[in-house]
Structure formats: structure tokens, C-alpha cells
Amino acid sequence: MKTAPRPLIVLHPDRLLRDRLERISKTRFRLATVDEWDDLRNAVAEAPPAAVILVDPYHGQERSGGPSPHLYNVLKAFPSATVIAALDADPARYRDLWLLGDWGVAEILQTEEDVTPESIRRRLLTARAQHMRRLLTHDRSAPLTGRARSLIDAAVETVMSGGHPKDLAKTLGFSPSTLLRWCQRSQLPNPRRLLLWMRVLFASALLDDPGHTVFSVGLACGYSGDQALRRAIRSAVPYTPTQLRRMGAFETVSEAFFRELAELRDDRADKR
């Protein structure tokens, strides 16, 4: 499995910011700039679903009027898109900052403070896995212990960066055998299967987004194409991507995932 750099689509007039983004992108992101909201909308529709979008929320209008309604429309049209708003976060703009969060912006880049490569890189990375985490909390049929939740959170991060079980172990600071033991104690599938589930869940979240092909979803999830994605999905649920789309991909796959967790659950053990 290979990890392609994720597209970073930028609609921001600040040249300095764009230069900084260019410098930090390297192998993680592939930068593409657009000039208008319509261009952004088209770019998001055509981009692979793993794209990260960075915008000036006031683009094309006075700042006193609050964030642009165009941004609101983009967020509504592409609910799984990872959108970061980059603005001068003056405390006087507290209303706008809150509103952006309420609209569904994943992160805010404070252009007056987040100017170093390290801080920008961290803001971009924290935004990545949010959508997936939010979706995973919707199913409450299988309450997870704190330890299991920690492992799943780390697995989401690992999948987002195209990692393998050994990377998951490294993220948690465990040896692979300790990770395996922790998964068992937390009544989770083994690390390899857990990552497979996370990848298939990520793919299904993207499949629910209209306008994206199965091929592009496969690439976004680190597979070589649609065939590899189909095989991965088949090993988790007995459906094709097209069937999943019809049934509500994320809902179907997450139900199957929580069903597997329920099967693994040993109530007598009552482990924490």
C-alpha cells in the first residue's frame, strides 16, 4: 500500500501564507491554488475526497460582514471535506470564530500567530481525522472503554497517514506484541484487522460523498485503485462499493464494525 500526498486546495490571497504552505507541503500535501469561490467548488468536486481545503473565510467581501456564505455553501455541499479557515484571529472576531466552528470548519489557522512551519504543519494534521472521529461516535450501540477509544483514535490517525500496524504500535509507544495484547484486553480486533476496518470506514465515509468515483476513493485510502478497494471492502462486509453507496455506505459499514465489536465482547470478563 502506498500513500499519495493529499491535495491541499488553497483559496487565500496571502502570498506569504501560500509560500509557507508550499514549504511545509513536501511529501504530505500537493498544493493547488484557486482564485474564486466557484473555482474552489469545482476543485473540491473534482479533487480526491482526502483533499484538505484551506480558505480565507472573508474572501471577496468585507470582513465586517462575517464569514462568506460561499464558504457555508461549500461546507454543506461537501460535508466530508476537511476545511481549514485561515484568518487573523483577532479576539474581537470571537463571533466569527465561533460561527466557523458551528458551520463545520475542522480547524482554524491563526495567520497572525501560526506562522512557523511547525505550527502550520500541526494545525493541518489535527484537522485530518476529525470527520472520521465524529462519524464513529454516532453509533452508541457498543459503548467503548476509554482504552479501546484511545486505541481506535490512534488507529484513525494511523490510517490517515497511510500507516501499518507497526506504525500504530509506534504511535502508542508499544511493541507490536504489547499492542496485540492491549487490543485483546480492550476487546478489539487484532491491530491488522482494526486498521482494515478503519480504512474501510474511511472509504465508506468518502463513498457517501456525492461526486467522487470509486477509483478516487480507493486512491485516497491508500489503495492502488478501485479493485484493491473492492477487495478490502469485501473482507469486511459482503457488499460492493456501488451497493454500499445505495445502502448508505458509512452507516452500513459502521454497523458491521460495531457488530464485530459486540461479538468480541466478553461480558463475563468485564474488562476495563
Partner 1 sequence: MTTMLNGRSDTGVKRRWRIPPPILRDAKAPGPEGLAVLEEFRSELGGVLWKSLRSVLLWAQARPSERKSLFAPDAAKRRALDLLALALEEDDVREPLEMLTEVLAIPARVDPELVGLACRRLAGWAEGADAPLTSLEFLQAAALACPANAHFALAVGRATRDLAQYSRSESWLQRSVGLARQAGDWETYIRAYLGHGKMMLRRGVLPAARRSYVKALRRSVRQGLQELEAMTLQDLFILEDKAGNVTRAVTYATRAVATFPTRHRNLPHLAHDIAVFWMQRGDVEHAFPVLRETVDRVQERYRGIAIGSLARAGGHLGDEAAFDWAVGELERWWDGPGIADAWAEVARGAVAMARFDDARDFAQRAETMARHRGESLVRFEAEALIQSIQAEQAALESRSSDRPSSAQPETDQLARELLKSLQAQPVNA
The residues of the shown chain that bind partner 1, judged by CB under 8 A, are: 89-95, 97-98, 100-102, 104-108, 110, 112-113, 115-119, 122, 126, 130-131, 133-134, 136-137, 143-151, 153-154, 171-174, 178, 182, 270, 272
Residue 236 C-beta: closest distance to partner 1, Å: 21
Going across the sheet that includes 6-11, the strands are 29-33, 6-11, 52-55, 82-87, 107-110
Residue 91 C-beta: closest distance to partner 1, Å: 3
Complex with partner 1: residue 152 or 214, whichever CB lies closer: 152
Residue 242 C-beta: closest distance to partner 1, Å: 29
Report which DSSP code applies to 186. T
SS3 46: helix
Question: Cβ atoms within 10 A of the Cβ of 268, count?
Answer: 6
Complex with partner 1: residue 117 or 225, whichever CB lies closer: 117
112 by Cβ neighbours in 10 Å (0-12 / 13-18 / 19+) ranks as exposed
Question: Residue 85 in contact with residue 109, Cβ under 8 Å?
Answer: yes
Residue 113 C-beta: closest distance to partner 1, Å: 5
Question: Cβ atoms within 10 A of the Cβ of 218, count?
Answer: 23
Question: Residue 84 in contact with residue 21, Cβ under 8 Å?
Answer: no
269: left (phi over 0), alpha (psi -120 to 50) or beta: alpha
Residue 133 C-beta: closest distance to partner 1, Å: 5
Residue 255 C-beta: closest distance to partner 1, Å: 18
Q: Give Cβ neighbours of residue 162 (< 8 Å, ≥ 6 apart).
A: 1, 2, 3, 222
